[in-house]
Amino acid sequence: MERHPPCSSGSPAAVIDFKPAWLVILAFALCGCLSARATAAESPAADPARGARLLLDGSTFHVEVSENGKKVFDDRLVFRGGMFFSESCSKFGFERSPYYVRTDGDEIQFLAETVSPTHGTMVWKGTVSGNQIDGGVRWRKERWYWKILRNFDVQGARGK
């Protein structure tokens, strides 16, 4: 008995195998859905936090960092490319980190945690209203035999 390819019309029992065609159609449909979802996710309207982050991105603030009402140091806080960093603290190994935002009326509230391999962590929180920034930073460094936990106030203005 001669065997015919499955798509041949020469055989009365010819079977057309549509499985690969369905897989291709399904793959294209999934790619289209994922692409539309990715495009929607890139839209600030689809992600309010991302939209608010864009309001801070590219901003630099000149701030005074104080503890118990006494100035400790001046700093520049930079929001760029979805990352936050403190110029003064970067000298001690505190690296750039993602920052998170939410809006409350005309105010933008932010949160960022920077980490240094040798000096612990700093959690920055604040509110930006117009060109003013007001907030605080909590520095924590722990070893098995001692701990540093200090809170600082941060105030300043948008600058270059």
Q: Tens-digit pLDDT profile for the chain (160 aa)?
A: 444 333 334 444 444 444 454 444 544 444 454 444 444 444 344 455 555 557 899 999 999 999 999 999 999 999 999 999 999 999 999 999 999 999 989 999 999 999 999 999 999 999 999 999 999 999 999 988 899 999 999 999 998 6
Q: Are 93 and 104 in contact (CB under 8 A)?
A: no
How does pLDDT run across 29-58, given as a tens digit for each residue? 444 544 444 444 443 444 555 555 578 999
Residue 60, token pair as written in the block? 């630099």
Whether 9 is in a domain gets the answer no
Q: pTM of this prediction?
A: 0.67
- Same domain? For 38 and 93 the reply is no
Same domain, 86 and 110: yes
Question: Any bridge partners for residue 136, and if so which?
Answer: 125, 153
Q: Copy the structure tokens of residue 49.
A: 């936090």
Q: Which domain holds residue 34?
A: 15-46
Number of domains in the chain: 2
What is the sign, positive or negative, of the torsion defined by CA atoms of 124, 94, 74, 82? Answer: negative
Does residue 146 sit within a domain?
Answer: yes
Radius of gyration of the CA atoms of the chain, in A: 28
The answer to whether residues 30 and 56 belong to one domain is no
Q: Are residues 41 and 81 in the same domain?
A: no
